[in-house]
Chain A
């Protein structure tokens, strides 16, 4: 039997085990970057009047509905608001000016998403800060565990073999423990020899 050849699958397995987390990490970072990029870019610019009205209406809350935008609500007031948005846009008002008009009448509550300035910025920034903090915390924890594992292996090289078993340093055994252990090992060797 080729001794060198027998080690190859194990090495290939360990290298594959190293690649999988790396690929997963890269995929996660890429997905997060894509989500952020799409979020920052926003939806495609509206072309027709209907699309422009919908773009503004979808940012406004229907005052008489439960968590529906003016664009999606079937209520007569929402329909009146859509008609108002259309007439303002036709009159040459910018979407921001139309939105501001509704905010003047109803308050900031009328916006489906909080504005990205002033105190409302907190609700946009806080989740990112928390996510960043979580990543840093996870990185620090992983680094600490890796270091502890490495230092344990350096202090007790025998620990690397037989994963999952408890290891006792030879110095920790009392003389009677050593005698018991030696007896057990010799018994096991004997029974192993008989079995083969």
Chain B
């Protein structure tokens, strides 16, 4: 066995022992810190739903649009609804969730139509004839607009259908729902957007 080096007095220098301890514990400490950081990152990441994307449009001015009605009655622009709460619903005849949410939309429309809330449907990646047939079949009572080239859908950051935006009287988007809306959720969003709402 090899003896530890000694100083002039023949004692083992404690500095070496200290340095040796640092050499052992420093990498251990670094590994522990890195593992703790990774664990924190995983805990943060696994606690979130990766499919939920925070809509950036909420709180911003609603992008303007001027689109033709599917019925051929003329064009309609967002500016025409200034001072009103607007519920803008992107939908398609081929979309099962759009069928599923229709009853909720219809009920909310019935509840708020007398309070000056405007409902507007925008057809997404659909043929005009198919969209019109679907609207008749479902008994939609609000204007339906065509969106050639999905220009308005892109402006609103639409990632699929159905998606529903609530626009406040001042023209700001105050809520976005990805997927089918529910009666209580949409009612609450509209109530908040109305003048005097919380």
Which A residues are closer than 8 A to B by beta carbons? 63-64, 76-77, 80-81, 83-84, 102, 104-109, 155, 172
Contact of B56 among A76, A77, A80, A104 (CB under 8 A): A104
Q: Which 9 A-B pairs give the minimum distances between C-beta atoms?
A: A107-B56, A80-B150, A105-B157, A63-B159, A106-B157, A76-B125, A80-B149, A109-B53, A64-B160
Query: Which residues on B sit within 8 Å (CB–CB) of A102?
Result: 154
26 CB contacts below 8 A, A to B, read A63-B158, A76-B150, A77-B150, A77-B153, A77-B154, A80-B153, A81-B154, A83-B149, A84-B149, A84-B151, A102-B154, A105-B63, A105-B154, A105-B155, A105-B156, A105-B157, A106-B56, A106-B157, A107-B54, A107-B55, A107-B56, A107-B157, A108-B56, A109-B53, A155-B2, A172-B1
Query: Which residues on A sit within 8 Å (CB–CB) of B125?
Result: 76-77, 80
| In the bound complex, CA of A19 to CA of B109 (Å) | 81
The dominant DSSP class at the B interface is loop
Chain B contact-residue range equals: 20 to 34
Residue in chain A with minimal CB distance to B160: A64
Chain A nearest CB, measured from B198 CB (Å): 26
Query: Which residues on A sit within 8 Å (CB–CB) of B151?
Result: 80, 84
Query: Which residues on B sit within 8 Å (CB–CB) of A172?
Result: 1
| In the bound complex, CA of A108 to CA of B151 (Å) | 19
Known interface pairs A63-B160, A64-B159, A64-B160; A105-B57 also in contact (CB < 8 Å): yes
Query: Which residues on B sit within 8 Å (CB–CB) of A63?
Result: 157-160
Which B residues are closer than 8 A to A by beta carbons? 1-2, 53-57, 60, 63, 125, 149-151, 153-160
Query: Which residues on B sit within 8 Å (CB–CB) of A107?
Result: 53-56, 157
Q: A63-B160, A64-B160, A84-B151 are in contact. List 10 more A-B contacts (CB 8 A).
A: A63-B158, A63-B159, A80-B125, A80-B150, A81-B154, A104-B60, A105-B63, A105-B154, A107-B53, A107-B55
| In the bound complex, CA of A165 to CA of B54 (Å) | 65
| In the bound complex, CA of A109 to CA of B51 (Å) | 11
| In the bound complex, CA of A104 to CA of B153 (Å) | 13
Residue in chain A with minimal CB distance to B150: A80
